[in-house]
Amino acid sequence: MQTNLFQNDACAPSIVIDGLRHLPEYIADEEEARLIDIIDQQPWRHDLKRRVQHYGYRYDYKARMVALALNIGALPDWAAAISARLVADKWMGQKPDQLIVNEYLPGQGIAPHIDCIPCFSDTIISLSLAGPCVMDFSNPVLPQKTSLLLQPRDLIILSGAARYRWQHGIAARKSDLYDGQKINRQRRISLTFRKVILT
Ligand SMILES: O=C(O)CCC(=O)C(=O)O
């Protein structure tokens, strides 16, 4: 396989990232449509360039922390159902109690990052809805970079090195080039499930 060049010219991952699982089509089309419909009826937050919704606990982006005082109640039923399925399928050992919904319009992304280590447990799970995008992974220590095409309804699971050592991010651009194919970005929504660690 080709080496990833990682700018706007990614190709299928040539590097295996320990602890990264990619499950295509984790949910059915109808469930995806139902989730998008419900999410679009909820209020959005405007803390960032992209719109977000927080459930369970509000995450403080500036302080990079979560605390009991930021608890905003249980996950809503529509999210609790997926959260229960993640545990039943053994992707997470404990039921996630925090969810961030991110909306990415074409041109929007998320900076490379490792999810707050003291705030959240050892597994982070993201479900993609609506549009495709390329997610970039980088390990500054090795150093290595690779990318993964996420299609709507795909699930990714970050644990082990993928959770603690590799940064993940989405470039802010209007199209991705993946395996030589130009993929125009559309509106994408992601649901990221986490289990909060309260100290
Ligand atoms: O959009 C995604 O799939 C990932 C979101 C993410 O990395 C985050 O909210 O920290």
- Coil, helix or strand at residue 25: coil
**For residue 2, how many other CB atoms are within 10 A of its CB?**
11
Most ligand 1 atoms within 8 A of CB, residue of 47, 102, 147, 166 to mutate? 102
Distances (CA, A) of 109 to 34, 80, 129: 24, 26, 15
Q: Rounded distance, CA 61 to CA 58, Å?
A: 9
In a domain, 15, yes or no: no
Q: In this structure, what are the phi and psi dihedrals at residue 81, rounded to the nearest 5 degrees? A: -65, -40
Q: So what's the pLDDT on residue 15?
A: 79
Q: So what's the pLDDT on residue 78?
A: 96
Cα(124) to centroid of ligand 1, in Å? 9
**pTM score:** 0.93
In a domain, 10, yes or no: no
Q: How confident is the model at residue 6 (pLDDT cuts 50, 70, 90)?
A: very low
* 144-184 per-position pLDDT tens digit: 999 999 999 999 999 999 999 999 999 999 999 999 999 99
Nearest alpha carbon to residue 144 among 22, 17, 19? 17
How many domains in the chain? Answer: 1
In a domain, 52, yes or no: yes
Task: Answer whether 125 contacts ligand 1 (Cβ < 6 A).
Answer: no
Cβ-proximal residues to 174 (8 Å cutoff; 6+ apart), any chain: 106, 107, 184, 185
In a domain, 14, yes or no: no
In a domain, 12, yes or no: no
Residue 7 pLDDT > 50, yes or no? no
Task: Answer whether 145 contacts ligand 1 (Cβ < 6 A).
Answer: no
Task: Answer whether 83 contacts ligand 1 (Cβ < 6 A).
Answer: no
**DSSP assignment letter at 89:** T
Residue 193 pLDDT > 70, yes or no? yes
Domain ranges, residue 183: 20-194
CATH number at residue 49: 2.60.120.1520
Residue nearest to atom 10 of ligand 1 (CA): 115
Instruction: Outline where the chain has alpha helix (H).
Output: 29-39, 77-88, 160-164
